[in-house]
Amino acid sequence: MLGVNLVFAGFALTLNGVSYFTKVDDNVKAFCNILVGIVIAINAIFQTATAVDHVTFGFAAAMWLFSLNYFVIAAHIFFKAESWKAFGLYGLFAAIVSFHFMLDTILTLGDGAPWEMVYLWGMWFLLWLQTFLSIMVCARIDKLSPYILIINGTASTFVPGLLILSGIIL
């Protein structure tokens, strides 16, 4: 299920990044974010229910973070929020959680934790930290944000999701 979730997350991250360069209807973008959030939430429920150790619970935690992420983005779009500070604070929360699971994965690599998750947690940490910094510190979406969304959407979700679904990793 992680592969399916990552492919969907990759689509939403890339869509959100590309929407800075070309006009994408906000209602459609919000609806896409909600659909991705729902798909990931459904899979997260199953992942949480079947988690047997901290590594598999970490997978579930990642999916809950992504699911809520897309619901918060959709809410900001639907309600035409002038300030994205709620999402900026969510970015800080998600960055802290991602950093924790990245460190936990590093510390348990010898116990069978997959090395791929160090990379994924690290990329997600950078994505959400950048979200927090650009919204809460710079008080705006900076010029690099769309590129970071597209690159991170491809490198930390879409491509790894395809590799997981193809049986190449994890």
59-86 burial code (b ≥16 CB/10 A, e <16): bbbbbbbbbbbbbbbbebbeeeeeebee
Q: Does residue 51 contact residue 59 with C-beta atoms inside 8 Å? A: yes
For residue 32, the tally of other CB atoms under 10 A from its CB is 22
- The CATH class given to the 2-165 domain equals mainly alpha
Tell which residue, 160, 131, 148, has the closest CA to residue 69: 131
- Residue ranges of the domains in the chain? 2-165
Question: Which pLDDT belongs to residue 103?
Answer: 94
pTM for the structure as a whole: 0.86
Question: Which pLDDT belongs to residue 111?
Answer: 79
pLDDT in tens, the chain (170 residues): 789 989 999 999 999 999 989 999 999 999 999 999 999 999 999 989 998 887 788 878 888 988 999 999 999 999 999 888 999 999 999 999 999 989 988 998 877 778 888 999 999 999 899 889 988 888 666 677 888 889 988 998 999 999 999 999 98
Question: Which pLDDT belongs to residue 62?
Answer: 82
Question: Which pLDDT belongs to residue 140?
Answer: 63
